[in-house]
Amino acid sequence: MKVFIANFGRENYEWPVCLERGTIATMNRVDLQKLWAAGDRAAYIDLQMKGKTAAGITPTKAVASRWFNLMSIIAQSSGDLWVHREKDQIWWTMSRPDSPSFEPKRETVGDKRDVIVCHKPCDPWSDKNRLGNRLDWNGLHPKAREFLFTEGTLQQLNEDHAGYALALFAGDDLAPWHSRAEWKAKGEKAKGKRGVATIFNARQRSAVRMAMTAMGTVAAANGQKALHTVKNKDMGFSSQQELEKYLLDLLDLQEGLCAITGLSLQFDGESDDVEMLCSLDRIDSNGHYEPGNLQIVCRFINRWKGADGDDGFRRLIGAVRSISDV
């Protein structure tokens, strides 16, 4: 059984429909849906990459490919556990084998696109565990709150986190997780942060750190103390602040996931594994720090990739995954 954390449309506009009908959902622009229905992944990706997001960023091939997969995951899901957080409540359901429906709709938010919404039938959503106890978001362990929520469209939990989710909704004993040293440490750390005001959130701190590192790298490469960014074409941003803004938009575009592995990124001040911290990578290692050539990956992936080509490195990661899935 797979376990997914999901949102449903921009600003979750389709959630009330999903809750009422007992479905999970995702959507494509009408022109893109035609390509998905035809199974034309290459054309779908190409069309996505010809457009820009609301923040003015062109989706990378990896992001466009992920978007193609979203519809397939929803439409084909059967017997999977789905989790959704809505304010102070946490909801869950199980997908059913029934065929999905594909329905035209005019979005109610953003630029109000014409889309095709895929609704996949599932069991009635519940905000209680199988014992009848209410599932309160703020009552969850701080560690669990980290992985039972996503800012992206959907995220599949790893085996350990999926096991926790299954135990939580079954009303089983959660001590096997809560008694772990790292879980206890996370709980204590959360207690110490109560009532503490922060100027920057974790993503902002991460963007500042990545931008400063990139600026320093370019300055060192040019042998300069003062950085002339646009003229020497090593840095395609006129200031650190412009780069920071771009990185925050890029994190939103990637939905907080590593651009290469799809793993959840961790952020400065809230991480419990430094290897999962977000790290700025040039897609073309011989290229510059400029729009279109940047992606955010896990720190260990950036180190592993080094100066290797992006396509070749992705092929190797795919080969490792194919072995682990056997």
pLDDT tier, 193 (very low <50, low <70, confident <90, very high otherwise) = low
pLDDT tier, 54 (very low <50, low <70, confident <90, very high otherwise) = low
Question: Which residues make Cβ contacts (< 8 Å) with residue 294, sequence separation at least 6?
Answer: 246, 247, 250, 280, 281, 282, 283
pLDDT value of position 112: 86
Q: How far apart are CA 187 and CA 272, in angstroms?
A: 12
Strand partners, 238: none
* DSSP labels, 101-160: EEEEEE-SSTT--EEEEEEEEBSPPBSB-TTS-B-BGGGS-HHHHHHS--SSSEEE--HH
Average pLDDT of the segment spanning 174-202: 76
pLDDT tier, 223 (very low <50, low <70, confident <90, very high otherwise) = low
pLDDT tier, 41 (very low <50, low <70, confident <90, very high otherwise) = very high
Per-residue pLDDT reduced to its tens digit, 301-322: 999 999 888 889 988 988 887 7
Average pLDDT of the segment spanning 164-180: 96
| Domain over 202-324 is classified CATH 3.30.40 | yes
* Strand segments (E) across the chain: 3-6, 23-29, 81-86, 89-94, 101-106, 114-121, 154-156, 278-282, 294-298
Nearest of 281, 139, 140 to residue 210 by alpha carbon = 281
Q: Rounded mean pLDDT of the chain? A: 88
Per-residue pLDDT reduced to its tens digit, 272-310: 889 999 999 999 988 999 988 999 999 999 999 998 888
Percent of the chain with pLDDT over 90: 58
> Is the pLDDT higher at 84 or at 201?
84
pLDDT value of position 200: 61
Q: How far apart are CA 210 and CA 243, in angstroms?
A: 9
pLDDT value of position 60: 83
Model confidence at 196: pLDDT above 60: no
Q: How far apart are CA 270 and CA 291, in angstroms?
A: 27
Q: How do the domains of the chain map onto residue ranges?
A: 3-181, 202-324
